[in-house]
Structure 1
Amino acid sequence: MGVTNTEADLVVVGAGPGGYTAAIRGAQKGLDVVLVEKERVGGVCLNHGCIPAKALIHAAGFQRDIAHWNDIGINTGVVDVDFQAIQEWKNDVIEQLDDGILQQLDYHDVEYVNGTASFLDSSTMRVEHGDDARDIAFDTAVLATGSQPIEIPGLEFDQDGVISSREVLQVDEVPDELVVVGGGYIGMEAVTKFSKFGSLIKVVEARDRVLTMFEEEIVNSIQETSEMYRDHIYTSTMAKGVEYENGRPVLVAEREGEELRLGGDYIIVAAGREAKTAYRALNLGNTAIERDDRGYIKTDRRMQTTDENVFCVGDAAGNPHLAHVAYRQGKVAAEVAAGGDDSFDGRYIPAVMYTDPEVAIVGLSETDAAEQYDGIKVGRVPFSASGRALTTNKSSGYVKVIADANEKLLGVRIVGARASDSIAEATLALEMDAHLDDIATTIHAHPTFPEAVAEAAEAAKGESIHSH
């Protein structure tokens, strides 16, 4: 193996949301930056997660919209779905975003290197690609190595028909039946897109309900809206393994002491993600980096590890595994690496689920707020009172605003169309320590979905105009 030696101010390992953001921000701050990625720029989010999943959800949603068109007099006739063409469109979207990142890296003079990185010591990184190796002496490094799907004993991914949420986005045709192991947001988003394309989805969840990261009120609301979130969902059910009947995988599970057998074209294991696998190639033992009780790399608010030369961002630094968290942490790490003063504030992190209707939350839930504060104020407005929602046939769901006795905003819950967009206003309001009046007296364009946020703020004051 031939080894070359170079130097850099900053080496970033991993070109996902946290990594490429850290690399570009570091270059903007005047650092000489090398970005290392063993697969392709954009990471899991862009290539195998957020972007392709949402593209397919968008395409699947037209099935329902077209049915509405016929209801209001726009006659479309028989609709034929060319799933391979949809996949090609989805891949074009990914390619366009990948190219955009590469152009930004080039514009900011970030050197992009394909290979596998490992520490020789706390100031030297080795990058191997095939038979070639390069040792880079660095002042600081940022680890953004992401996470991988968790394997369940008995449902390892090397078995025929057992796949992760990554592979299901690449299928050539719409499956007739899918079995999803895991009722978290990744599993339920799989239900959303493939149910709309015509698949029968069966969800197996070990806990007593799906979507435990959201309040029961939210889960009940989306289950009331559509049968795809209540039929064929098996809670308190343990997945045990896979068998095969006529070449098709069959999930063997147990519920209340009885065996349950669920067959499908694929078994999707969506039981969460872990970061530890990606650490192995890094040779962390050659540094002063320590890991916490859950196995994640320890970081402080500046995203600095226990090795002062190394930062860690995104999934590699622990929960929550969200791309928008990685973006912010990448900027913080690069700023500090360049000698600046910045820190990560995780108080108000919005969480979004792209079901139908969408779900978006930020801040405290009503239950948590009631435990921490006396005399909370709650305003709830259904989208059935929204002119914009009715004119777009998207009237399912609601907005809930929670405030303390002095009307300071504590949290917002949105279930409905465009929730993923409207939650941004709520997040900013919480960051600005806003009160109900700050939202209610802000003039919102009419008719729009975010009007419901202002209406809910008024409802919390007992002053709603369009709802009671």
Structure 2
Amino acid sequence: MAAKSFDLIVIGAGPGGYVAAIRGAQLGLSVAIVEREHLGGICLNWGCIPTKALLRSSEVFHLMQRASEFGLKADNIGYDLEAVVKRSRKVAGQLSGGIGHLMKKNKVSVFMGAATLAGKGKVSVKSKDGEETLTAKNIVLATGARARNLPGLEADGKRVWMYKDALQPPHMPKKLLVIGSGAIGIEFASFYNTLGADTTVVEVMDRILPVEDEETSKFAKKQFEKQGMKIMQKAVVKQLDRADDKVTAHIETGGKVTKHEFDTVISAVGIVGNVEDLGLEDLGVKVDRTHVVTDEYCRTGVEGLYAIGDIAGAPWLAHKASHEGVMVAELIAGQHAHPVKPESIAGCTYCHPQVASVGYTEAKAKELGFDVKVGRFPFIGNGKAIALGEPEGMIKTVFDAKTGELLGAHMVGAEVTELIQGYVVGRQLETTEEDLMNTVFPHPTLSEMMHESVLDAYGRVIHM
């Protein structure tokens, strides 16, 4: 059978791959996309979207418990975990189906199967119907990543879970251990803790949410502890003893190992790139610690072969993957493309309270040699936050004292995952402190705190 020929083949249909395919098609390229499991990838099916659906249910449950604070009455409040999960899966299904529609609309040829690079410009696709060969001058690897499984802490789906198990839990945890306090670990800890699980989080670093600004981490920790979470920092889970109805965790802190019993463990200790079985070695593609090495334009060093998203390394974020997908498609179509700068990409964590940031932390800015001006504003000083019943939170801004450049912004509190985009746009437009001070923010909104935080950095704060 003759090979089918395209201008561009994309391997992987997650938020990096399917976006690259759409942009390529918009620019007049003939595009094929190969996906071995689900259109939409992990993000839509088992990651970003279904977790947000779960967290929304726990947020509403939390508010129902606070009904009397708002002058409302709600008795016999409860939840049906099966129904909560069902809603989450329905949301994921709806969006995954939408990607299929977008592929059709943009005339992208979809091949469901496992892809291997069969040589330069050649992709072999194995599906249940057999094997076929596709050819293209340009190939984009967007195969993503998967959860890291540490030896001895492997998931079994019964008592020890990975994210997929936690999204479709076989039981409601009573006593839960979460290993790892990055975005995934903290979001699941927040969800199950809100639903009443006695939750402990173990973090190997000296603070939770270790990629965030130190003040944000400390503030979030205090809030989680107020909600009854136990947090162990500088701690390592050495081994798990599994029984039918419980898991005994050996946890080391300060050189001492203690045993703790749980009925459920969630492992969220990072990710590894999906680089196996792609034929990368034969083509001489450089792989460093399970991630494909690329330049700023996502080029692999092998002519016509690009890698985007999680497989190409940190930050492991869907929106970074999508943006790289657009950039690479434009590059292939001969357009002028701008590389994606990691420090201009916002990170969002949807725990309660939410956490969001962009740019450098205060410590990183100082380490890079900047003389900094730092501003802060608390939610308690904002009328809208108090009216919402969300007075716990903080917004912090970091400026270059010499030029007024906004170096970083760090937030913790209600709806900060939506607010952060204001600062992202500001950084993209190379905004200075003067521009932000002269911007009129609407009242009453949470966004006014962004203004006040800037004013505070320059000794001009009004409501504090």
Normalised to the residue count of structure 2, the TM-score between the two structures is: 0.95
Query: Deviations for 1:119-169, whole angstroms, at most 9, x for unmatched residues?
Result: 110111000012511100111110000001111111123475222122211
Partner of 2:396: 400
Partner of 2:286: 290
Q: Which amino acid aligns with 1:321?
A: W
Where in structure 2 are the equivalents of 1:118-197 lying within 5 Å? Answer: 118-158=116-156, 160-197=158-195
Distance in 2, matches of 1:40 and 1:155, equals 27
Distance in 2, matches of 1:423 and 1:66, equals 27
Distance in 1, matches of 2:252 and 2:368, equals 39
Distance in 2, matches of 1:104 and 1:327, equals 15
Equivalent residue in structure 2 for 1:213, among 206, 211, 214? 211
Q: Size of the alignment, in residue pairs?
A: 462
Query: Deviations for 1:335-393, whole angstroms, at most 9, x for unmatched residues?
Result: 11222221323131111111221111111222333344565322211111111111111
Partner of 1:304: 299
Where in structure 2 are the equivalents of 1:39-438 lying within 5 Å? Answer: 39-158=37-156, 160-227=158-225, 231-275=229-273, 278-292=274-288, 294-346=289-341, 347-372=343-368, 375-405=371-401, 406-438=403-435
Distance in 1, matches of 2:187 and 2:238, equals 23
Change over 3 Å in CA distance of 1:69–1:272 after alignment to 2? same
Aligned-pair CA distance for 1:101: 1.2
Distance in 2, matches of 1:423 and 1:435, equals 16
Change over 3 Å in CA distance of 1:291–1:65 after alignment to 2? same
Aligned-pair CA distance for 1:221: 0.8
Distance in 1, matches of 2:61 and 2:87, equals 17
Query: Deviations for 1:247-285, whole angstroms, at most 9, x for unmatched residues?
Result: 32222333344432233332211110010xx22121113
Aligned-pair CA distance for 1:69: 2.3
For residue 210 of structure 1, give the secondary structure of its aligned residue in structure 2.
Answer: coil
For residue 282 of structure 1, give the secondary structure of its aligned residue in structure 2.
Answer: coil
Q: Gaps (5+ residues) in structure 2?
A: none
Distance in 2, matches of 1:370 and 1:235, equals 25
Distance in 1, matches of 2:35 and 2:244, equals 41
- Greater Cα offset, 212-221 or 155-164: 155-164
State the superposition RMSD in angstroms.
1.8
- Contact map agreement 1:83 1:172 (CA 8 A) in 2: no
- Contact map agreement 1:414 1:423 (CA 8 A) in 2: yes
For residue 166 of structure 1, give the secondary structure of its aligned residue in structure 2.
Answer: helix
Distance in 2, matches of 1:374 and 1:283, equals 44
Q: Gaps (5+ residues) in structure 1?
A: none
Percent identity over the alignment?
32
Aligned-pair CA distance for 1:233: 2.0
Distance in 1, matches of 2:62 and 2:158, equals 33
Query: Deviations for 1:286-320, whole angstroms, at most 9, x for unmatched residues?
Result: 3242224x342121122111111111100010111
- Contact map agreement 1:389 1:449 (CA 8 A) in 2: yes
Change over 3 Å in CA distance of 1:138–1:209 after alignment to 2? same
Change over 3 Å in CA distance of 1:231–1:160 after alignment to 2? closer
Aligned-pair CA distance for 1:246: 4.9
- Greater Cα offset, 426-435 or 239-248: 239-248
- Contact map agreement 2:250 2:258 (CA 8 A) in 1: yes
For residue 203 of structure 1, give the secondary structure of its aligned residue in structure 2.
Answer: strand
For residue 389 of structure 1, give the secondary structure of its aligned residue in structure 2.
Answer: helix
Change over 3 Å in CA distance of 1:160–1:96 after alignment to 2? closer
- Greater Cα offset, 150-159 or 253-262: 253-262
- Contact map agreement 2:153 2:239 (CA 8 A) in 1: yes
Aligned-pair CA distance for 1:15: 0.5
Normalised to the residue count of structure 1, the TM-score between the two structures is: 0.94
Q: Which amino acid aligns with 2:329?
A: A
Distance in 2, matches of 1:463 and 1:194, equals 41
Change over 3 Å in CA distance of 1:49–1:298 after alignment to 2? same
- Contact map agreement 1:191 1:228 (CA 8 A) in 2: no
- Contact map agreement 2:378 2:394 (CA 8 A) in 1: yes
Distance in 1, matches of 2:302 and 2:370, equals 43
Distance in 1, matches of 2:145 and 2:12, equals 11
Distance in 2, matches of 1:375 and 1:230, equals 39
Q: Which amino acid aligns with 1:392?
A: L
